[in-house]
Structures are given as structure tokens and as C-alpha cells.
Amino acid sequence: MPDAGTIETTGWAAEPVVGSYFVAAYPPFSQWTEAALVECRQRLTLPRPPAEEGRIGLYVHIPFCAERCQYCYYLSYAGQPPARVDAYIDALLAELDFYAGQPALADRRADFVYFGGGTPSQLSTEQVRRLQRGLAARIPWTSVREVTFECAPKTATAPMLEELRAAGVTRVSLGVQQLDDEVLAKNGRIHSVREAERAYADIRRTGFAIVNIDLMAGLVGESDESFHRSLDRVVELGPDTVTIYQLEIPLNTPLYKAIRDGRLEWHLPSWDVKRSRLQEAFARLERAGYLRRDAYAAARDADRHRFLYMTEQYRGADLLGLGASAFSYLNGVHHQNLSSSDAYMRALKGGTPPLNRAYVLNEQERLVREFVLQLKTGRIDRAYFRGKFGVDPARPFAEPLSRFAADGWLEIDDTSISLTPEGFSRVDRLIPSFYLPEHRGVPYS
């Protein structure tokens, strides 16, 4: 391992109006290559290292929706016929068949599962049943601790919710974004406030262990009044957790194209405004009895209302991503699937794993990866890094830590590195300053 003390830093960068800011992986996706797939495939043929636990997380990508939102940058297809969705489910199960037969994944059992999209609740109840049973037959769910399923208000119907409960879903995340009909319409959301409140009531009646509501700050046409009025209504509803993301405008979104072509008719809040709304929102949630859990979410009971999909990944857990464009982290190797559903299904139909690109991390890159991801939780445990990597993170990252502490964005003591409220609201902007030199200033994806 190179001397971790040689990690360099760059200055604070300007904040563009458009482009990606949310950090989901390290190193950046643009550094993952097709050439690295050779070693990725080789490692799958090796037995699981004795030090690696038998547990594994699953991410299942469902790239279907009724209509694409203006700000959406995830792979999704609107208005697909049932036969195509069925064929995609066949491909998901064929992909898991491939991995379940690899020595590196032998005897693995699911620890946490996340169904994301798109809109997973766009599936029929029969499709949900077939998919869940097929997954559990290939990697056992006997000890699964958390199963999250993303729902949209229109498709979170009583029959669907009953099916999810029967399938073992423990955590439902309802994509509300904002409780203002005018703002929802301007951003391409097809549900109304009334439908969102009906869906939430049905979810509660079904009896899931954890119910999360997703909101966004900085939507097109949003005002301070509409944002805080929506939040107040969410507080009245009382979900177990509330997640709030700031709007970003990646270059593959309909919203970016509208800005580029001069077709955007409504006001777009600045980053300063979004951060201000976010900080005020979490202060409001704390006054209502919630505790901030990470940069994006607050929970009524942080010990019981955990989010294993996030926290386990941030501590280096293996994650197998299934589906078009899904990405994985297995034994220190990142890989991502083909980003077209047609190419993904063709590969599996032909008996070929649908891999697109990969990155094999060295020990120093693993250290950086866990540091930047754990920073999103708001607290870095210095003893954890000394125990796992033999390095106190305050040493290799001394320069940016000192700079950001002086700016009031984080605090450092003998045991931890902690974000302040101001640091929480800009954490994804801070993170690139901790990258290795070769990974700075490169395209994100």
C-alpha cells in the first residue's frame, strides 16, 4: 500500500448549475474500464476469501416507469408492455443464476435487498411474486435483515402493498418529492398530493416495519413557501424516516435539455437556496423529534429505523447489482452492467454475463472509498480506520480536513471527524477534495 500520507488535495471548485454532484461510488465511473473486466471475471472464479463474510447485499434495478420525470437521470423506460417486463425478469434471474454458480459467491446469503428504479411498483403483483421467489431460490433470504422497495404513489395500491408484505419487504420508500400539485406537474410527476396521501395511508395500514418518504429540495417552480408547507404536511403524516435530496441536473435529463434549448419557463433555485432549505428542513425535523441519520435522511428512532443498504455499503460490504446499468462491489472490485436493457437481455439470452466495465481497487483506494462514503453519515470513527486500514484518517486527509474545519463545515476531535449542518448540506461537493490525485478533475461518469 502506498504511503497514505501522500494523498494530495485541490481547492474548492465552482458549483455548476448543471451536471452530476451526488457521489455514489469511488473511483468515479469514468475510470472504470472494459479492460478491467478480465481481472473482474478471474476473481469470480476464485473461492471466497476466508476473511469475507457469507452475507451479501442485493440491488435489483427495475427500469420501468409510467412516465419519465424531468429531473430523472436513472435508466428507465416508460410504457413498456407486460411481455417485455416479463422478459426482463427472466434476465434478472438468469443473471443471478450466473453469479450463484461462481466460486466467489458460493454459500452466500442475502443480508439486505433493495429494489430500485425506475418504479419497481410498476410491476404487477404476479411479477413481484415471481421475481422475489426467483431471487430467494438462488441466494437464500433466510437471514435477510432488510428489504427495501421503492414505490410511486399511483402504483402503491392495496393489492401491491399486500404482495410486498407477503414477499418479505420490511421497508417501503414512497417517492413523494413535494406535496404541491403545481410543483409536481412542472417537474413531470404524474401523481397528485391527494394520491400521495392515499398511498401513504395504505402503506401504513399494511403494516411495514419502516416507511420512508422521499422529498426533494430545489425543484422547478418551488418556493420557500411550497417547500416548507410540504415538509410540514410530511411531519404531520409522521413517517419513520424522511429523506431529502437536493435537485441535480445531469446532462442526460429532460430538464437539462430544456435548459440547454431555452425552453425552461420557470424559476430554478440556486445551490445556496437549496442548501438553505435543506438545513432549515432538518432543523424542523429535529424539532419534531427526528434525529439526523446522514446527509440526506432523518429518523424517528435511528437505532431501529436503520438503512442497511447504505450503511453496510459504506463500510465495505459486498453488493451484487442485478439489472441493466446496475453496479456491484465484490471483494474490492467494482463492475457495472450494460446500460441498455436490450443489450443486457441479449447478453444473458446468449449465455454471457452482461458486464460493461470494471475497476479493481488497491488498498489505498479502498481506504479513500470508505472514507468518502462514510463522511456522508456525518461522522468518521478514527478508530475504525486505524483498525481496518492501519491509518488514522486525520493524517492522509489533513489538508482538506483543516481547510473545511476552518470553513465551519466539519469538526475534528481525538475520536472522530464530524460534519456540521453546513457541511452536511454540501458533503457531495466536499468529497472530491479527498480523492487521490489521479481521480480529480475527471468526468464523473
For the segment 100-107, the average pLDDT, to the nearest whole number, is 90
Beta-carbon contacts of residue 152 (< 8 Å; ≥ 6 apart): 65, 66, 119, 121, 122, 174, 175, 191
Confidence of residue 319 (pLDDT cuts 50, 70, 90): very high
Q: Are 196 and 76 in contact (CB under 8 A)?
A: no
Whether residues 368 and 294 fall in one domain: no
Whether residues 79 and 228 fall in one domain: yes
Cα separation, 120 vs 148, whole angstroms: 11
Whether residues 286 and 178 fall in one domain: yes
For the segment 355-373, the average pLDDT, to the nearest whole number, is 98
Q: Give me the chain's average pLDDT, please.
A: 91
Can you tell me whether residue 213 is helix, strand or coil?
A: strand
For the segment 113-135, the average pLDDT, to the nearest whole number, is 95
For the segment 106-118, the average pLDDT, to the nearest whole number, is 93
**The predicted structure's pLDDT at residue 122:** 93
Residue 150 lies in a domain: yes
Radius of gyration, CA atoms only, the chain: 21
Mutual orientation of helices 193-206 and 158-166 as an angle, nearest 10°? 40
Confidence of residue 77 (pLDDT cuts 50, 70, 90): confident
Whether residues 222 and 371 fall in one domain: no
Q: Are 365 and 27 in contact (CB under 8 A)?
A: yes
**The predicted structure's pLDDT at residue 18:** 74
* CB-facing half-sphere around the CA of 137: CA atoms within 13 A: 10
**The predicted structure's pLDDT at residue 314:** 95
Whether residues 156 and 226 fall in one domain: yes
The one-character DSSP state at 266 is: S
Q: How many residues does this entry show for the chain?
A: 445
Task: Look at residues 279, 312, 345 and tell me which one is the last residue of a structural domain.
Answer: 312
Confidence of residue 51 (pLDDT cuts 50, 70, 90): low
User: What is the total count of domains within the chain?
Assistant: 2
Confidence of residue 9 (pLDDT cuts 50, 70, 90): very low
Beta-carbon contacts of residue 40 (< 8 Å; ≥ 6 apart): 333, 335, 355, 358, 360
**The predicted structure's pLDDT at residue 414:** 96
Predicted TM-score of the model (pTM): 0.93
Residue 258 lies in a domain: yes
Which tops the pLDDT comparison, 202 or 185?
A: 202
| CA distances for 60 relative to 74, 375, 389, 439, angstroms | 13, 25, 31, 28
- Weakest-pLDDT range from 9-18, 68-77, 419-428: 9-18
For the chain, percent of residues with pLDDT exceeding 70: 94
Residue 354 confidence (pLDDT) above 90:
yes
Residue 196 lies in a domain: yes
Residue 41 lies in a domain: yes
- Weakest-pLDDT range from 268-272, 287-291, 343-347, 417-421: 268-272
**Domain that residue 410 falls in:** 362-445
Residue 10 confidence (pLDDT) above 50:
no
Residue 108 confidence (pLDDT) above 50:
yes
